[in-house]
Amino acid sequence: MEAGNTRSYHHGDLRAALLAAGYELALAGGADAVTLRETTRRAGVSPAAAYRHFASHEDLQLAVGAAAMADLARSIEAHQAGAGDPEPAARARQRLIGVGDGYIAFALDAPGAFDIAMFGLFTMEHAFAPETMGDTGRTPFQLLTDALADLVGLGLLRPEQAEPAAITCWSTVHGFATLATSGPLRQHPRPELDA
């Protein structure tokens, strides 16, 4: 079943296949493009089969969105990878910048995936769900609060300002990504940003 070309009645791992097909559709056309019927069609399966793995169309979209969110986390992690400054303070700042850069890079490089990642913008227990974590086992939101916690630990940020700072950072970056993705801003350059 693992090298599955045995096109038999049972698929083997339809749930993963549906997620993959859905992600492909999302990449091309955003959340609205990942329709239940087209997703099942791509997986070579009947529409109703999806209901064995997802409670509803929205549930499928949320699952695809969670996968996209995990890729967002990976994008942030990749942008943080070069944070090798010997100075702890500078390194902490680099990692915070990495959050913003990775967030915005993902939104610009894969607007469709970004769109579905923000689909039904978290019930927020969602923001800590395991399936939205990147390779380091942290969600995008956790990567942000981690970076800010580092600054607090170095005395660069007052503890009681950590939470407001998180909200402000996230707002700015998210707002910029939104405006740049589906808004009036379309420039190619990777703009330097504050965070």
Partner DNA sequence: CTCCTATGTTTACGTTGTTCACATTCGCTG
Partner DNA sequence: CAGCGAATGTGAACAACGTAAACATAGGAG
Contact positions vs its own copies (CB under 8 A): 120-124, 127, 167-168, 170-176, 178-179, 182-185, 194
Nearest distance from C-beta of residue 103 to its own copies, angstroms: 11
- Rounded Cα distance between 139 and 135, Å, is 9
Out of DNA, its own copies, none, what residue 176 binds, judged by CB under 5 to 8 A for its kind, is its own copies
Taking CB under 7 A as the rule, does residue 63 contact DNA? no
What is the length of the chain?
Answer: 195
Q: How far apart are CA 35 and CA 37, in angstroms?
A: 6
Which residue of 10, 84, 130, 192 would you call a contact of DNA, by CB under 7 A?
10
56 lines the binding site for DNA (CB under 7 A): yes
Among 28, 37, 171, 182, the residue binding DNA under the rule CB under 7 A is: 37
3-state SS class at 65: helix
Burial group, residue 29, by CB count within 10 angstroms (0-12, 13-18, 19+): middle
Does the footprint of DNA cover residue 52 (CB under 7 A)?
yes
Compare residues 11 and 95 and give the one whose CB is closer to DNA. Answer: 11
Do 129 and 139 form a contact (C-beta atoms < 8 A)?
yes
Residue whose CB is less far from its own copies, 106 or 170: 170
User: Between residues 2 and 87, which has the closer beta carbon with respect to DNA?
Assistant: 2
Question: Which residue type is seen at 3?
Answer: A
Torsion over CA: 166, 168, 173, 174 (sign): positive
Torsions phi, psi for 50 (to 5 deg): -60, -30
Three-class SS state of 11? coil
Selection from DNA, its own copies, none that 42 binds (CB < 5 to 8 A by kind) is none
Question: Does 3 interact with DNA (rule: CB under 7 A)?
Answer: no
The residue ranges that bind DNA (CB under 7 A) are 1, 8-12, 14, 35-38, 45-49, 51-53, 56-58
